[in-house]
Amino acid sequence: MKSITIDTVALHAIALPFVEPLRTSFGEEPFKSAILIELKTTDGVTGWGEVSTEIHPGYSSETMGTAAHVLPQFLLPLVIGQTVASPTDVPALIASVRGHHMAKHGLEAAVWDAWAKANGIGLAEAFAAHLPEGHTPKGYATVGVSIGIKPSIEATCAVIQKRLDQGYRRIKLKIEPGWDVELARGVRERFPDITLMLDANSAYTLADADMLKQLDTFGLLMIEQPLAYDDIYEHRKLQPQLKTPICLDESILSADDARMALELGACRIINLKPARVGGYSESLEIYKVCVDHDAPLWVGGMMETGVGRASNLAFASLPGVTLPCDISATDRYFNPDVTEPPFVIRPDSTIPVAAGAGIGVEVLAERVHAGEHLWQAQYPYLT
Ligand code: OSB
Ligand code: MG
């Protein structure tokens, strides 16, 4: 395989209007925000990566502002001019910067794309080369859809019906205190057989255990991150009290976290967001931890643009990703997206991985520019 040498890196802070915003227990973002990374090699190959930071530090302590600070000041000087034999070399190059996983992920993702393009292979194949034999990419990912907090159960059921009609066979509902047991009961009455899960985004404490136990009667696939965003210990106390598997999202920042949470019994399922764990190299380590522990794994999302979704979809096509992923079709998020062609859901709740080298989709310069203009018009003071 060919090495690449990183020549230049351009940062594009963008805002895109959402087709349907996602209200969670910590709030709602008015726009999709991201910093798109455009990396050029000395051989003239362009790689794209997405830093999918939000505006408000609600899900993560990282924001558009922190990424706009740490990338040019600290991360880019560590990679520009460097020759990279494998994208898995990137974490060591940038290890002197602590934290800032989303910023690091976007940068590493741009290297994965450029490296895969320089070598004429798709990202799924590039990822699989770091896995044990037999972990051959499937060419598609099985997906579901994440539905935000709505004004009523009726309104929620209407969105669920629309998503089922589009082909989604796994529905995830966001919950918060006061929007939980009655919501689950109402939705289950209307849809007794769907694959249903809930995501609390850290809205509860151990004092809510009795309420959370009531959710066991609704046949849920899992409950995602019920307790504090930085907790493993109290989830360890909660999981044995529930029949419903706990899935950890926010709390898992590394392969070591995933191993600890699974071995302690703090959760039974891992939501792997490559952005949250700092890149695809660490994601591959988490994948191997889950395979070794026979733990179900799925790929979560940050409402990524087509840049981030293309590479997440490639990762989600690996066979150790055993549960439906939060990677929906383009029309669930943006009209238009910054990439072409759009991702389309098939009737069996799968999305094919883009064919072609690297991320496999084209980034349209004029759409990126429009996104930059909207960002500048709305949030000039944040980046
Ligand atoms: O908790 O999974 C989450 C989006 C932003 C922040 C947190 C979360 C989410 C999602 C998005 O649920 C799902 C998607 O990208 O389709
Ligand atoms: Mg989540």
pLDDT tens for 324-375 read 999 999 999 999 999 999 999 999 999 999 999 999 999 999 999 999 999 9
288 carries an active-site annotation: no
In this structure, what DSSP letter does residue 321 have? -
Residues 107 and 201 grouped into a single domain: no
Q: Which residues of the chain have pLDDT under 70?
A: none
200 shares its domain with 91: no
Cα distances (angstroms) measured from residue 88 to each of 36, 70, 112:
20, 21, 9
- For the entire predicted model, the pTM comes to 0.98
What pLDDT sits at residue 54? 98
Check residue 191 and give its pLDDT.
98
Is residue 315 domain-shared with residue 294, that is, in the same domain?
yes
- Name the residue of 24, 168, 334 to mutate for ligand 1: max ligand atoms within 8 A of Cβ: 24
Where residue 111 sits, what CATH number does that domain have?
Answer: 3.30.390.10
- The verdict on 255 and 341 lying in the same domain is yes
- Taking ligand 2, which is a single-atom ion, which protein residues have CB atoms under 5 Å away? 199, 224, 249
> What whole-number distance in Å separates Cα of residue 187 and Cα of residue 113?
41
The pLDDT assigned to 101 comes to 99
Alpha carbon 37 to its chain centroid, in Å, reads 17
pLDDT of residue 201: 98
Q: Are residues 281 and 378 in the same domain?
A: no
Please classify residue 65 by burial: count the beta carbons closer than 10 Å to its beta carbon, then call 0-12 exposed, 13-18 middle and 19+ buried: middle
Specify whether 195 is located in the same domain as 218: yes
Instruction: Give the C-alpha separation, 17 to 32, whole Å.
Output: 6
Q: What residue ranges line ligand 1, CB within 6 angstroms?
A: 22, 59, 146, 199, 201, 249, 300-303, 326, 328
| Co-location of 94 and 146 in the same domain | no
307 and 372 housed in the same domain = no
CA nearest to 15, candidates 38, 32, 28, 29: 32
Same domain, 80 and 206: no
Task: Decide: helix, strand or coil at residue 120.
Answer: coil
Pocket test for ligand 1, best of 146, 197, 227, 349 (most atoms within 8 A of CB): 146
Identify the active-site residue in 138, 174, 237, 243: 174
**For the chain, how many structural domains are there in total?**
2
- Say if residue 160 is in the same domain as residue 94: no
Domain CATH for 173: 3.20.20.120
Task: Write the CA distances from 19 to 217, 274, 337, integer angstroms.
Answer: 33, 24, 10
Q: Tell me whether residue 237 is one of the annotated catalytic residues.
A: no
Residues 6+ apart with CB under 8 A from 50: 34, 35, 36, 37, 106, 109, 275, 304, 305, 307, 308, 311
What's the CA gap between 219 and 9, in Å, rounded? 48
Q: Is-contact 180 211, C-beta < 8 A? A: yes
Are residue 214 and residue 253 in the same domain, yes or no? yes
CB 320 within 8 A of CB 134: no
Residue nearest to atom 1 of ligand 1 (CA): 201
Whether residue 153 sits in one domain with residue 29:
no
Q: State the distance from the centre of ligand 2 to the C-alpha of 140, rounded, in angstroms.
A: 22
Range of the structural domain that residue 314 is part of: 128-362
